[in-house]
Structure 1
Amino acid sequence: MGVAEGTWRCSDAGAVIAERLRLGGGKPVHTVRADVGILQQRLIAEASAAIARGQVGAALIIGGESRARDRAIVKAGGEATQTPGPDGAEPDEVIHPAGELMSEVELERDLATPATQYAIVEDALAQADGIDRAALRRRLGELWFGFAAVAADNPTAWDRSAPSGRTIVATEGGNRMVADPYTRSLCSQWNVDAASALVLTSVEVADRLGVPPGQRIAVEATVESNLILPLPQRAELQRWPAFEVVAGALATHCGVPVDGGLGAEVVDLYACFPSAVQVQARALGLPLDAARLTVTGGMTFAGGPLNNAALASTVAVVERLRHLATAGGSARGLVTAISGMLTKPGAMMLSSSTSPTRFAALDVTDEATDRSPALPVDPDLAGEAVIVGATVIPTFEGIRRAVAVVGSTASGGVRRRSVVTSDRDVVASSIAELGGAGRVVTLDGMGGFNLS
């Protein structure tokens, strides 16, 4: 029994569910919790590997959140309750992250919010493509309009209203700006009630239970990198070498090309923010066409619960593959996962083939580390620098703050990075209107900057 940690607190959620479902036939059920910072895909990888080794015959992977319910109860003046779990109980196994997902300078200088980091990546993408802010907003509106349309046909999606592209990018009707150019309708929505469950079994157990071949979906491979490289240290914000390594390893194992989406007929990319989708799609050689990138509608519209989004994507891809199998023939499904801010990537290949590729769980952290140059970060960097990516965020004080990752080259030729902010309205207005990446700025050596 594998459970992804959520915003709730329960001593051993797996044990609670096992008891309520009367699992184990009177024997103890081995429970596993993956803490926040561990890819949700990891639970599937661990269970699949245990089944392949013959250690277990079946496993249940679950995730669920009830933040919408909790918020509604609190808004009505009540107190949201939680299931505490058995007294003093702990899971039999806990998977902890190897390190912190975020550096100190990110926490101190307004980079702790996911929307802020992904908006900065968006700025870097726009500069790399040579498009202005108006063209960027059109691109975002068209991309997320497509995701909204997919969600409208997804019966389990949280928001099936299918807003227009213009509505998605416009700051009207409560659609506030979160981190320019990201409005609320361009951000992951985690205040949802959602849950998913996956049952994995050996072939022998499936045979014994009489599961029809057409209903069986094989896990061919899971690949992940656990390299933690904070945003300011990355040589290129618009690329993700670790994800490229993951995709390459999956391609090699399954005998398919990376370009065109690893040969998968069904794809669901981890879609927390548009820049995450674009970075992954480019690495996989996929067009920015929602119909090729998602079957759920993404985390804005299908919902992005903290511990459940990748599991929900897996369920949706499995269902689509079963439908294709029923129609005749076999197909592959690709599901990707992200932990942190484009920090830890994962990808998984599923297949409805009756003779799938032999399963493997691959960890490519070492190769990802070799392929991901890390630049030194100097919080006290002063003098002239160039913006690598920037955004503008609203503050609790009612002002707009520009937040930028900047780069400078020292006299010895060493590239250095820093994270800087500015509360000057002229700076925030200029970056919101024209973008930030590529512009020259002057740093004061204390974490502030001004446009040169």
Structure 2
Amino acid sequence: MPLDTTPILVGCGDVTDMTTPVEQGRSPFDLIAEAGRLALADAGAPGLAARIDTVAMLRLFADTSHRFATKLGTSTNPPKSVAKRLGIDASRYLYTWNGGNMPQYLVNKFAEAISRGEMQAAMVVGGEALRTQHGVERRGLDDISWREDPGGEPELIGDPRRGWSDDEDKHNIRAAITLYPLIENAIRGQRGASIPDHLKSMGKLFSGFARVAAENPLATRRDGFTAEQLATVDGGNRWIGFPYPRLMNSNAFIDQSAAFIITSVGLARELGIPESKWVYLHGCADGHDHWFLSERPEIHVSHAIRNGSRKAFDMAGKTVGDMRFLDLYSCFPSAVEIGCKEMGIAEDDPRGLTVTGGLPYFGGPGNSYVVHSISEMLRRVRSEPGSFGLVTANGNYVTKHSFGIYSTTPTEGQWTREDPAVLQAELDAMPKVPYVSEASGPATIETYTVMHGKNGPDYGVVYGRLKATGQRFVANTPSDQATLQDLQDRDSLGRPGTVHREDGRNIFVPG
């Protein structure tokens, strides 16, 4: 029998809304509170809301990136705005820093706090109303405001550092749609694949995600795209950042929210939460690779996924083969490809790599997608008592990683985990690449991308190596259409050229 201090997840809820007219101007706080009500109802204990002492909310994209900033205003205390709608009077309100890893990070951290008696129950919530936000702003509905002041300020949790370096910033290398294509082309180089063959491979990989989304009533794209459709670049599937067309990118402009509740076995028993709702965290880990992509010796490798997943499996006393269900973080194909390689999972694993459908097809609600992953994983392992499921979470650019292994099978003895600092020390000790900020002379392309706008190629990005020293540098290319088109049409990995300094940036001219 599990100890009273054992942490368990007891309630979950999800909302996907593609139909409410944007003119209603429903705020993200209203949308997220709806998921919170579903999570409370799922737990099946009327007294649970009164015992929740912590409400944690994933950072809204509007507070994360200027690309998603809103003129509609926001709350001075977002988690408290949600809590007030639910009648929850918590003692702590937490608002995360950015990162798709943060939902699983919160589970791991809160499980530890509950096992130590430092917390009795927490609700984790997240969501986005970017479909409504975009529609309201596009139509100029000036009477709609999301400004509110529920009182106080939230505690901030997570890592506030931005995910790109000053050099990357100077070269317009700062968004996921730019950095993940750089990772993808590095993977293609490691595999020795041609551009057409690798595009087909990515289409095949993500068609499996699209099939799951087609059967998920909460998914936003339920077309069930085939591998051929995903790999065909046309007017409805134009290039975003080569080699990714639109349908291989996370789908952010949606209205989705999710919530789950974590508490102790003792409180669940006291409140009468049915044991059929209890899900145990058997293994977990948190760690990050070298912070900037340009620091990593091998762009197609993640030591944090390799070592962190091993820590989680060891804690659970399980292997990846013991997992009945998987949900691998899937903002872009490269995130899945690296995850599979580092954990020893085949890309065509018959179990499937997702329980939701993935960020491009289920929906990519900013920092909170993994709240949905966890919520769906709870339902899956409940549906097959004794089964195990793995959730992986990724923040920034294959940078920050969190892992959770779930089952209805009780954990044994006192719940404890290794101090995450042990794993982080291992990761910090990994070597960094020789790097130079200002580059000049003969060089070769290590990886690259061509970024597109609606009318075609916009600019080129290169991670290169100086021939004389082997040092890495970041650069842009000349922006004329002929250069950009040639860079994309030819396999430019390993391509020679020269780099020079111009107006504070490195410019690589392909040979």
Fold shared, TM-score > 0.5 on shorter chain: yes
Aligned partner (choices 403, 406, 417) of residue 464 of structure 2: 406
CA–CA distance in structure 2, aligned partners of residues 288 and 434 of structure 1: 27
1:147 aligns with 2:209: yes
Deviation (angstroms), 1:305: 1.0
1:3 aligns with 2:57: yes
1:119 aligns with 2:184: no
Deviation (angstroms), 1:361: 6.5
Equivalent residue number for residue 25 of structure 2: none
1:338 aligns with 2:394: yes
In the alignment, residue 317 of structure 1 is paired with which amino acid?
A: M
Q: Secondary structure at the match of 1:135?
A: helix
- The CA deviation string for residues 415-448 of structure 1, in whole angstroms up to 9 with x for no partner, is 3333333324443233322333222222123411
Q: Secondary structure at the match of 1:33?
A: strand
Moved more, 28-37 or 358-367: 358-367
- The CA deviation string for residues 300-348 of structure 1, in whole angstroms up to 9 with x for no partner, is 00111113101111111111111111xxxx1211111111111111111
Aligned partner (choices 324, 349, 361) of residue 301 of structure 1: 361
1:47 aligns with 2:110: yes
Quick one: structure 1 residues 396 and 140, their matched pair in 2 at CA, closer, same or farther if it must change by over 3 Å? closer
- Residues 38-77 of structure 1 correspond to what in structure 2 (within 5 A)? 39-77=102-140
Deviation (angstroms), 1:116: 1.5
Moved more, 220-229 or 151-160: 220-229
Equivalent residue number for residue 378 of structure 1: 436
Quick one: structure 1 residues 74 and 424, their matched pair in 2 at CA, closer, same or farther if it must change by over 3 Å? closer
CA–CA distance in structure 1, aligned partners of residues 352 and 308 of structure 2: 19
Quick one: structure 1 residues 322 and 188, their matched pair in 2 at CA, closer, same or farther if it must change by over 3 Å? same
1:360 aligns with 2:417: yes
In the alignment, residue 352 of structure 2 is paired with which amino acid?
A: R
Quick one: structure 1 residues 74 and 265, their matched pair in 2 at CA, closer, same or farther if it must change by over 3 Å? same
CA–CA distance in structure 2, aligned partners of residues 167 and 201 of structure 1: 44
Contact between 2:280 and 2:411, CA under 8 Å: does it hold in 1? no
Deviation (angstroms), 1:207: 1.3
Contact between 1:385 and 1:442, CA under 8 Å: does it hold in 2? yes
Q: Secondary structure at the match of 1:379?
A: coil
Contact between 1:49 and 1:361, CA under 8 Å: does it hold in 2? no
Aligned partner (choices 270, 275, 294) of residue 329 of structure 2: 270
Equivalent residue number for residue 246 of structure 2: 184
Equivalent residue number for residue 14 of structure 1: 79
CA–CA distance in structure 2, aligned partners of residues 295 and 82 of structure 1: 35
Moved more, 439-448 or 358-367: 358-367
1:199 aligns with 2:268: no
Equivalent residue number for residue 66 of structure 2: none
Q: Secondary structure at the match of 2:335?
A: helix
- The CA deviation string for residues 230-273 of structure 1, in whole angstroms up to 9 with x for no partner, is 1112111111112212112112222234xxx3632111011000
Q: TM-score by structure 2 length?
A: 0.80
Quick one: structure 1 residues 397 and 297, their matched pair in 2 at CA, closer, same or farther if it must change by over 3 Å? closer
Contact between 2:475 and 2:508, CA under 8 Å: does it hold in 1? no
Equivalent residue number for residue 164 of structure 1: 226
CA–CA distance in structure 2, aligned partners of residues 42 and 215 of structure 1: 22
1:449 aligns with 2:472: no
CA–CA distance in structure 1, aligned partners of residues 508 and 118 of structure 2: 57
Moved more, 333-342 or 217-226: 217-226
Deviation (angstroms), 1:83: 3.9
In the alignment, residue 230 of structure 2 is paired with which amino acid?
A: I
Unaligned runs of 5+ in 1: none
Contact between 1:10 and 1:82, CA under 8 Å: does it hold in 2? no
CA–CA distance in structure 2, aligned partners of residues 82 and 50 of structure 1: 37
Q: Secondary structure at the match of 1:319?
A: helix
- The CA deviation string for residues 22-59 of structure 1, in whole angstroms up to 9 with x for no partner, is 224xxx43211112247232222222122111122211
Equivalent residue number for residue 129 of structure 1: 191
CA–CA distance in structure 2, aligned partners of residues 163 and 100 of structure 1: 34
Contact between 1:220 and 1:359, CA under 8 Å: does it hold in 2? no
Deviation (angstroms), 1:406: 0.8
Contact between 1:390 and 1:435, CA under 8 Å: does it hold in 2? no
In the alignment, residue 113 of structure 1 is paired with which amino acid?
A: A
Moved more, 357-366 or 288-297: 357-366
Q: Percent identity?
A: 25
CA–CA distance in structure 2, aligned partners of residues 349 and 419 of structure 1: 41
Q: Secondary structure at the match of 1:353?
A: coil
In the alignment, residue 10 of structure 1 is paired with which amino acid?
A: S
In the alignment, residue 380 of structure 1 is paired with which amino acid?
A: E
Aligned length: 438
Deviation (angstroms), 1:228: 4.5
Q: TM-score by structure 1 length?
A: 0.90
CA–CA distance in structure 2, aligned partners of residues 80 and 190 of structure 1: 25
Unaligned runs of 5+ in 2: 1-54, 63-73
Moved more, 162-171 or 228-237: 162-171
- The CA deviation string for residues 198-224 of structure 1, in whole angstroms up to 9 with x for no partner, is 111100111123333332111123311
Equivalent residue number for residue 215 of structure 1: 277
Contact between 2:457 and 2:485, CA under 8 Å: does it hold in 1? no
Contact between 1:218 and 1:356, CA under 8 Å: does it hold in 2? no
- Residues 216-231 of structure 1 correspond to what in structure 2 (within 5 A)? 216-231=278-293
Equivalent residue number for residue 23 of structure 1: 88
Quick one: structure 1 residues 368 and 263, their matched pair in 2 at CA, closer, same or farther if it must change by over 3 Å? farther
CA–CA distance in structure 2, aligned partners of residues 267 and 396 of structure 1: 35
Deviation (angstroms), 1:115: 1.6
In the alignment, residue 322 of structure 1 is paired with which amino acid?
A: R
CA–CA distance in structure 1, aligned partners of residues 303 and 311 of structure 2: 12
Contact between 1:99 and 1:228, CA under 8 Å: does it hold in 2? no
Contact between 1:270 and 1:276, CA under 8 Å: does it hold in 2? yes
Quick one: structure 1 residues 228 and 39, their matched pair in 2 at CA, closer, same or farther if it must change by over 3 Å? farther
Moved more, 280-289 or 441-450: 441-450
Moved more, 76-85 or 41-50: 76-85
Q: Secondary structure at the match of 1:211?
A: coil
CA–CA distance in structure 2, aligned partners of residues 81 and 230 of structure 1: 39
Quick one: structure 1 residues 397 and 299, their matched pair in 2 at CA, closer, same or farther if it must change by over 3 Å? closer
Moved more, 204-213 or 333-342: 204-213
Contact between 2:208 and 2:352, CA under 8 Å: does it hold in 1? no
Q: Secondary structure at the match of 2:253?
A: coil
Contact between 2:98 and 2:160, CA under 8 Å: does it hold in 1? no
Deviation (angstroms), 1:386: 2.2
Quick one: structure 1 residues 443 and 203, their matched pair in 2 at CA, closer, same or farther if it must change by over 3 Å? same
